[in-house]
Structure 1
């Protein structure tokens, strides 16, 4: 397969109807830092002064012995690593500067059970060379359209590896880097999600998921992007009362000019219907209303209901290289604790993160009055989110349990976990250790008809 590395967006028709771009890209001399003192994706190559964050030396690109290929549950590449320390409620104040507000609240809410096993930091993120090359081109071409509504001048790589502009503009760039982050070309997976009740009870909702990341189409260009970042299909397979239902998403590059296109298939009615409200704070039934539509993927969708502010970079403990949570055959009952994941299976490391705060605009509606995002400086994955209610009280804490998918290569979350501190319940997406395999990545470019509403009913079988 030949990769087209030289194609950048020249201006989508849909975007041309929006406000003109307001954010200038960085200079060629600044972009030249990528791959030198900066990583190919824009983070600082050097470690920190204390030596607790190492220098980036290329990331993890070689699978460990015994790994046979994409779809196999991952083998832990660091089996000899042991925790350097454990942070719990009794010593949290000693590490307060390295903890997010949400993590501190988790320690206070569950003082006898929640803890952070802290391991040595390993900067495992990496990207293919063609993604690195496109990222370098994006740095001097990418622009934000309007008030964060859209993206122009970027394709096949991170749009803004080097942040520039004022606080609001930098915040938009960080979030767009998250929305368009590298996660391969095409991926399929059978996985389960659960809503864990306060007494520890849960029931599985299992689905087959398929995605094509059109923004990283290795054969494409402007004419192939057509204002779609990715196509997503999900077919519910159990429990029986939900089996046969399906959802189709076309995620757009500018959701104000052309909102997300969504369709749902109801197995009982055998009908495909538009799902125009699948966005913002629409509740997700499979999550027992513990996750909103725009919580999915840690954050997705339009930015228009919030005022955005970039708060700088910090070194904090985040979930990273969580291979124990994805080991083949590990029972879900061992992973799922009564109030949170089994902490003995989690791994936390010290990493640099960008912090972005979003505050609900006057006159706009959303169940979250404020959100604070902690975005990994290497992979641009959002790994922690603090969600506040309309009274300004911390309500929900989201965690992305990240690991390196060395077959890509690249870091992505394996499990996404949504905690409701007020209801004392939580929701988990991505459980697959009891399945025969995990995510399967390919470079295949499907026919667009495969992700059409017409094909949704044909492929939805109860």
Structure 2
């Protein structure tokens, strides 16, 4: 189905190679740095503890359950609202400051910092191997010398941090059912989707020699509401999306046809989102980085969503989570964490509603936790938040809920509502042959 990634790379005429780290630097992993590259020590003030291996499954948990909150006994430290927000401005994403000012009744509940992130040992081992081999090529649009683990655990540039997010471990495969909500003028509409993902880069046994230019395969089928039921989508996602473009096909039950989408990347609109979500905001950022100039601002201590187990719990009605203007703040948890701050500025000649973005990336897991979105005039127009948990049965860190607030008109988009659905199946029997237009057509019929 695909040529090997190595063969594809030979066809690239112009490449840009970025430096690997030397073995002495790589030896810091598992010593003063965690196996994924975070600072192992806590901060001087004691408000961020040392990383000691991450969270383990609490007593009574068994796979298939919505993950019990291992920190349910934690007491709230303080709240941040429009009334006291100025005290914390240096620790808040700009979009979150704006959200607080626009909604005086909204308050961030801040809890003790828990460094819960972990991953399988094989991901740690692969990360250490990648550190001395991984290189960015093709002006940063692809990479070589990396497989399975974090490619750049000791990043030298902003684009390396973004690649770490894109490639951080999310399991080998996943079958799940969840809902997205479009909230316009205070009214919420839900769409339920049955989704499957087959990951290639990070799966067990993957090596640089075996890796082709495939990142993942993705499919969903809409199951509700009735007017959209059986609408389906298949995506074949490459690693280097400049070398080989993303391919996507959509099945429509109205005419029982599968059609190739001309594009499902960059600023194209995600289907069924009422124009609230571009293709590249899924998983807070995905796809080719070629349309932006990237810069690494540095590492900062920020108040960000973390250990969001409370909003993840089984049985919560969706209308108690998705409220008129925002998610229900009484179900959200914020903590003080060190994050990598990365700026992205749209390159000359390209268009995107988000001409500038600032990413806040968790040092422990490489999950993007928040994004400030600005238009071509530099005006703040949006805020993305990912509310993560450690899926400790895998283990890996990923969002349980993602939100994109349109700050000017008050509309917002939510993805990941799964409280009243079966829990994610990370051991599902998923066949890569099922992610093709032919398979989509067979399922539709």
1:14 is matched with which residue? Answer: 8
Deviation at 1:15, TM superposition (A): 2.2
Deviation at 1:16, TM superposition (A): 2.3
1:6 is matched with which residue? Answer: none
CA distance in 2 between partners of 1:264 and 1:452 (Å):
11
1:100 is matched with which residue? Answer: 93
CA distance in 2 between partners of 1:317 and 1:400 (Å):
13
1:339 is matched with which residue? Answer: 325
- Alignment partner of 1:311 is 2:303: no
- Alignment partner of 1:451 is 2:435: yes
1:5 is matched with which residue? Answer: none
Deviation at 1:221, TM superposition (A): 3.5
CA distance in 2 between partners of 1:52 and 1:152 (Å):
38
Say whether the 8 Å CA contact 1:184–1:443 is kept in structure 2: no
- Cα deviation digits, residues 338-397 of structure 1 (max 9, x gap): 111100100000000011111111111111111111100110001101111122111110
TM-score, normalised by the number of residues in structure 1: 0.93
* Alignment counterpart, residue 59 of structure 2, candidates 65, 69, 79: 65
Show the 5 A alignment for 1:70-81.
71-81=64-74
RMSD (Å) for aligned C-alpha atoms? 1.4
Say whether the 8 Å CA contact 2:21–2:154 is kept in structure 1: yes
- Cα deviation digits, residues 22-65 of structure 1 (max 9, x gap): 102101111011001100000000000010000000001x2112
- Alignment partner of 1:270 is 2:264: no
CA distance in 2 between partners of 1:93 and 1:17 (Å):
53
* Alignment counterpart, residue 431 of structure 1, candidates 400, 414, 417: 417
Deviation at 1:308, TM superposition (A): 1.0
Deviation at 1:21, TM superposition (A): 4.2
Say whether the 8 Å CA contact 1:11–1:153 is kept in structure 2: no
Aligned length: 441
- Alignment partner of 1:206 is 2:192: yes
1:232 is matched with which residue? Answer: 218
1:109 is matched with which residue? Answer: 102
- Cα deviation digits, residues 386-433 of structure 1 (max 9, x gap): 111122111110000111111111211000101001111111000011
Query: Secondary structure of 1:215's match?
Result: coil
2:164 is matched with which residue? Answer: 177
**Which ranges in structure 2 are unaligned for 5 or more consecutive residues?**
none
* Alignment counterpart, residue 187 of structure 1, candidates 169, 174, 178: 174
**Which ranges in structure 1 are unaligned for 5 or more consecutive residues?**
1-9, 165-169
CA distance in 2 between partners of 1:98 and 1:79 (Å):
24
Query: Secondary structure of 2:140's match?
Result: coil
CA distance in 2 between partners of 1:219 and 1:245 (Å):
34
- Alignment partner of 1:122 is 2:117: no
Deviation at 1:325, TM superposition (A): 0.6
CA distance in 2 between partners of 1:213 and 1:66 (Å):
29
Query: Secondary structure of 2:255's match?
Result: coil
Deviation at 1:197, TM superposition (A): 2.2
Deviation at 1:66, TM superposition (A): 2.1
